[in-house]
Structures are given as structure tokens and as C-alpha cells.
Chain A
Amino acid sequence: MSAGPYGALLDAVRGVRWPAARRVMGATLGAHPSQLRGNSSEFSEFRPYRQGDDPRRVDWRLLARSDRAYVRLTTDRATFRMSMIVDASASMAFPQPGLDKWRLAREVAVGLAAVAHAEADPVGFAIAGKGQTVFAPRARRSVLLEMMRALDATPPAGTTAIAPLIASARASRIVVITDLLGDADDLLAAAGLRVASKGEVILVHIVAAEELNPPDEALLAVDPEEPTLRRILDGAMRAQYRETFSRWLDEMATAARASGIRYVRATTTEAAPHLVRRIAGESAHRGT
């Protein structure tokens, strides 16, 4: 498999573990603690036998020593289906010409997918740009390469609602990589529903450094998704812009967290491997 420009990233995230934040449901053997306790070799505890338990799980040696019937419980591990939703709208094509937002979004998506794939989790992805590209979660080896190709072949343009993709995602873990400049309210609502149904939603909010600190010179700001929206950004306006934008960022973070969504703000100055480790590490911390 040729990782192309993602080679250094994949090397940097090799070995990173990304456990589920809670026990997962699933029978397929994987790396995440399962809510099921069965016959695996990883002993967990003894529990007094209750009527209806499988007699094959009774620990006969302990019964012989204590004359009491105990059932041997083990910890099962399962896979965790993950789906990545990448915002490829026109607002992600910023700043020109480097497109740092889009670059960071692609690298984070590929990095997280690689980490999940390394744990044998089925990985699916959807790209929401001018149109929609959806790949169902799969665990086969080529899924990462397909994802890289799809991301590289997609120029950020147009605008597509992300909320429907969240609602229709066939995965327990959903990672949404977006700048929240589209259907933010619907997105949060859909994500909240997934969280309520015991899903895990991670919202990676991509923010460009130039959005936080626009250039000092007077500019005519034009919204790439709505070209008729034109505003002057000069000295007096810049301070108000920063204040408004900062307030909006806080509101988004608060709203996401209130819905149980993991909110991760990522600025374009942050290296993608570091961001991947941060996202996975926080999950590990939560999982423990």
C-alpha cells in the first residue's frame, strides 16, 4: 500500500491506541472492551450461579473446594465500527492558496482512520462537498487507501448538509471533521441524537489561524460559500469580528458538550499527528 503524502503521518501515529469511551456492543472479536462477558480467556471475576446460567460456565474446581457454585466471568473484546464524516465544503478551502483547513481535515481523517484500522475496527467515511461520497464501514486492508484517494480527489467546494450523514451513518463511533460553518445547528442536533442512542460522536472543529487573526490590512471579506456576502474588515471591524467569532466558538463548544458530543477544536497551526494523538488519548483517558 502506498501512503503517498500521508506516509509520515501514518508513521507518526503508528502504535497509538484509540479505545472506545465505553464498553461496546458487538460480537466480533476486536480491541475494545465489550459489554458481553463470555468465554474468552481474559478472566474477570466469579459470580454465584443463578438459574438460567449456562452450566458449562460453572467453575467446577471452585465448586469442589467450596461446595458452592460459581460462574466464571471473562471480559470479551469487540470491534467498534467507526465512520468519518469530512466536511469538504467551500469554506474548508482556506486560507488560499495552502488550503490549510482542508489539509488538516484530510490528515486528521486519515490519521484517525489508520489508528482505528490498526485496531481492526471497521472504518467507513463520507465526504460532504459539492456532492456526497459515502463508504460503509469495512475492515479490509484497502479501506485506508480508498479513503486517501477519495480525499485527494475531492476539492473543497460547494456546500452540503452534514446532519443527514450523521443520522444515516452505520457506525457507533462517528467522527465529524468540520468547520461548523454550514448546518451547525442541525449537525449538533443529529449528533446529540446519536449520543443519546449510546453512540460516540467526536466533533473535530477545524479553525484556521487566519480566521482567528485575519491580516492587518483592510480587506473586503467575501464568504466563499455565499459570494454575495461581502464585508469590510479593517481596524475597527477586526476587533468586533474577533470578539464575535470567539463567542461563537465558545457557544459551539458549549452546545456540543451539552449534547454529550466530544468537542475537539483544532487550529491549522497544530500538527496533524499531534491532533490525532490528542483525540485518541482523550478517548483512552475517558475509557479508563
Chain B
Amino acid sequence: MIFLAPWAFTIGALAAADVVFLHLVARQRPAVYLLPTTRFIPDQRTLVSRVATRPRDLLLCVLRALLLLCAGAAFARPVLTPARGATAHVVLLDRSRAVANPSDAVARARAQMSDGVPVTVIAFDSVPTVLARPAWDSLAGAARAETPGSLSAALIAARRASVALAERVDSVQLHIVSPVAASELDAATERVRAAWPGAIRVARVALRSDSSTTWRLDRALPAADPLGPAMASVRVAPGARVTRLVRGTPSAADSVFARDGETVVRWDSTAAPRPAAEGLAAGDDVIVAALGRVPVSLKGRAVARWADGTTAASEQPLGKGCMREVGVALPAAGDIALHPPFQRIARGLLAPCGLTVVETSADSTTISRLAGTAQNAARADALRSGTDRTSPLARWLLALAILLAIGELIVRAQVGPEVA
């Protein structure tokens, strides 16, 4: 048993020692002596100082000392130290749309675990689900979610789960079994990762890479184009679908290009409107940045909207392909092009028609930061909550203290008037 607030127990122990001391050397009523001639003793005082070799009223002394010790121990927040295992494992198992093969992810997670080791699996997509007793076979057979993953939410769930695990083990090892897609990271991920006091083992599995995610622009962007960084992570494969980006009004050739089954995107990203703080939503991504609104003339399905609900980009089928018009103007200066959410929106708006899933892998620097620089698993004491925790032992000790107080009252009533 350990005490989380040992000072309280120290105070209780000191008080108990004081009680014993007072029972030993304080002013005491001496031993009662039946004397028929008591009336001849001058009536002056009823107490006398006497040094005793053993505590007076031993039962009362014991009750009082125990009462103070129990109360002190209760307020010291006792925690019974369980039989600890060496290391517990928490596995963040990616079940989002970014995972190419969910069963392979489960196999990778299972391969890292040995029998008898306490494992908590947190399957996550946009919402984490804690599985204290994972059924690996069921997990392997379960279908993948079609929602984007959130590593921040999964890390927070892991941090919470580890608090309970830390009571039983010496350390907790966190595993991430995920392709670590860029869409799974957000602005909070780095800060949430910093809250994990140990190393994270990242086991990367294959990113979902169906044919619809492989495409290219028919013309290379200029080096200074703000859309360049967004396109940098687009994989190009032989025979991939092609998107044509036009800055002005599409020409007849562009229409033919679209009718042949390709995609023409009209996006004058450097248009004149003065940038203002705007909210832009496309798919699962939302950004708030200094952007300029350009009226969209194309009547079709809205694929992006401003915060007030007006259409920011629309798409209209044309022949076998489609035409898309984007009314988002980027500021001439700034780093918005480097923001991952904007890059995802830009990729989505430049992607070929009918493409809804566009996943790219996070860069190696991000993954290295996710793994962290620590060498060891998180120590249990670092994972325990620093805030108040309820201890059932404290309640029992308080109840015992109350019982002892009642017993002290009864014994004191039986013993007689108390000595000051």
C-alpha cells in the first residue's frame, strides 16, 4: 500500500503519538482510592501531575491513537499496490478509410503482442472505440469504415485508457498500427502526442490506394503556383486519369477534352478579389483562412461551400467527363498552400470527377515526430492521473475512524469524567 499524500498520514501519526504522550505524562487524575475519611482532605484540586510508566486508560488511548491513524491514512489517499506486470500494451488500430487492408492491419497488431500480456486495443476511425479484451478474429473480419481517421482522438483515448492500466503495470507501450494518412493528422495531433510520456511504436500498414486515387494534371503547374504543394503528393501512374486546370473561360478544346471522359477544372486561384477571413468546407475538411470569393457561374452539384452556405465550387457532368468551377481565390502571399487541410481540399477539387477518397501518406518527419524521441515505454507513474482519485480503501478507513470515534465515546462514558 502506498500513500499519495503521505503528509496527511504523517500528521495523523504525529497526532496519535501526541495522544499517547498525553496519556503518559499529562496532568492525570491519579488512581481512585476508596477512603472513608475523604472528607478530611482539603478540597483544593482534583488533578495532579504525575509521570506514568504506562498510558492511563489504555483502551481509550489505543482507540484514540487508532482513530487518528485511520483518519490520517484515509486522508493520505492510500492505494493498494497491485501485483504489477511488466508492460501493458495499447494498440491504436486504424479502421478508417485510409487503410488498404484492415485484416492485414489486425495481423500486424497481433504480431506485436505476445500471449499473456495485457493488451487494450483502440480501434479508431473518426471515433475511437476501446476494446479491453480484443477479439482479434472478429476484428480481422470486420469491414473498414468509410470515414476519415483521427489520430488525435485515438491518442486521447489511449491516454485515458492508460491511466487505468498504469495501476496494474509498471509501464505502458503504445502502438499505432496505421498507414498514418495525412488526413488522419490535424493541428492537435502534435500536442496530444506530447502528452504521451514515452515512445510510440508506429507500424505502418498499406495506405488505401485504389485506381481512383492515382491521377495527374495534363500540364505541370508553375513553380510559384500556390496549388503546387497540394499536387506534390499526388501519385502519378501510367494510364492514370487526367485533370486539366484552366485559369480562364474553358475553350472548345477543353469541352472536347471533358466529353472524352476527363475532367476540366476552371480555377483562377489568383483572381482579384481581396482576401478576407472565410470558412471553406469540402468533404470532411474545413479551413478558415484569408481567401477571396469568386462567383461560381456553373450550375451543377456543389462540391465545396463557404461558411455561409454559398457554393464555392460546383461540378457538372459533360459527356463522359465533367466540368468543375472553383471560386476560391488565394492570397498572393502567405503560407496557406502549405496547410495540410487546404492541400486536401485542393487535391479534392482538382481530382477527377467521381473521386471521393483522396488519401496521401503523412511525410516521414511527421511520422518521426509521432514516434517520438523517447526510447522506452511510458512509465506507469507518469501516466497516473495527477488529480484526485477515489480510493475505496480511504472510504473504509474513514468508516473505521468513525467507528473508533463512536467506540471512544462509549468507552469514555464508561470510564467516567475525562481528565483535562
A220 at the interface (CB under 8 A from B): yes
A62 at the interface (CB under 8 A from B): no
Q: Is B36 a contact of A179 with CB atoms below 8 Å?
A: yes
Q: Is B38 a contact of A223 with CB atoms below 8 Å?
A: yes
CB-based nearest B residue for A101: B36
Query: Interface-forming stretch among B40-48, B124-132, B390-398, B406-414?
Result: B40-48
Q: Is A237 a contact of B41 with CB atoms below 8 Å?
A: yes
Q: How far is the CA of A29 from the CA of B41 in the complex (A)?
A: 52
Q: Is the interface of B mostly helix, strand, loop or mixed?
A: loop
Q: Is B46 a contact of A220 with CB atoms below 8 Å?
A: yes
B224 at the interface (CB under 8 A from A): no
CB-based nearest A residue for B36: A91
Q: Is B30 a contact of A181 with CB atoms below 8 Å?
A: no
Q: Is B46 a contact of A221 with CB atoms below 8 Å?
A: no
A197 at the interface (CB under 8 A from B): no
CB-based nearest A residue for B37: A211
Q: Is B35 a contact of A214 with CB atoms below 8 Å?
A: yes
B31 at the interface (CB under 8 A from A): yes
A135 at the interface (CB under 8 A from B): no
Q: Tell me which residues across on chain B come within 8 A of A222, comparing CB atoms.
A: 32-35, 38
Q: Is A232 a contact of B35 with CB atoms below 8 Å?
A: no
Q: Tell me which residues across on chain B come within 8 A of A221, comparing CB atoms.
A: 33-35, 38, 41
Q: Tell me which residues across on chain A come within 8 A of B110, comparing CB atoms.
A: none
Q: Is B44 a contact of A237 with CB atoms below 8 Å?
A: yes
Among B36, B37, B40, B48, contact of A232 (Cβ-Cβ < 8 Å): B48
Q: Tell me which residues across on chain B come within 8 A of A181, comparing CB atoms.
A: 36-37, 39
Q: Tell me which residues across on chain A come within 8 A of B46, comparing CB atoms.
A: 220, 230-232
Within 8 A of B (CB), among A76-98: 90-94, 96
The size class of the interface chain B forms with chain A is 20 to 34
Q: Is A230 a contact of B30 with CB atoms below 8 Å?
A: no
Q: Tell me which residues across on chain A come within 8 A of B41, comparing CB atoms.
A: 221, 231-233, 237, 240-241, 244
**Complex interface bits, A165-181 against B, C-beta within 8 A gives 1, otherwise 0:** 00000000000000101
Q: Is A94 a contact of B34 with CB atoms below 8 Å?
A: yes
**Complex interface bits, B322-363 against A, C-beta within 8 A gives 1, otherwise 0:** 000000000000000000000000000000000000000000
A219 at the interface (CB under 8 A from B): yes
Q: How far is the CA of A30 from the CA of B48 in the complex (A)?
A: 61
Closest 9 A/B residue pairs (Cβ): A91-B36, A231-B41, A219-B33, A221-B35, A223-B38, A218-B30, A221-B38, A244-B40, A245-B40
30 A-B pairs (CB sep. < 8 Å): A90-B36, A93-B34, A211-B37, A217-B30, A218-B50, A219-B30, A219-B32, A220-B31, A220-B33, A221-B33, A221-B34, A221-B38, A222-B34, A222-B35, A223-B38, A223-B39, A225-B36, A230-B46, A231-B41, A231-B42, A231-B43, A231-B46, A232-B30, A232-B45, A232-B47, A232-B48, A233-B41, A234-B48, A241-B37, A245-B37
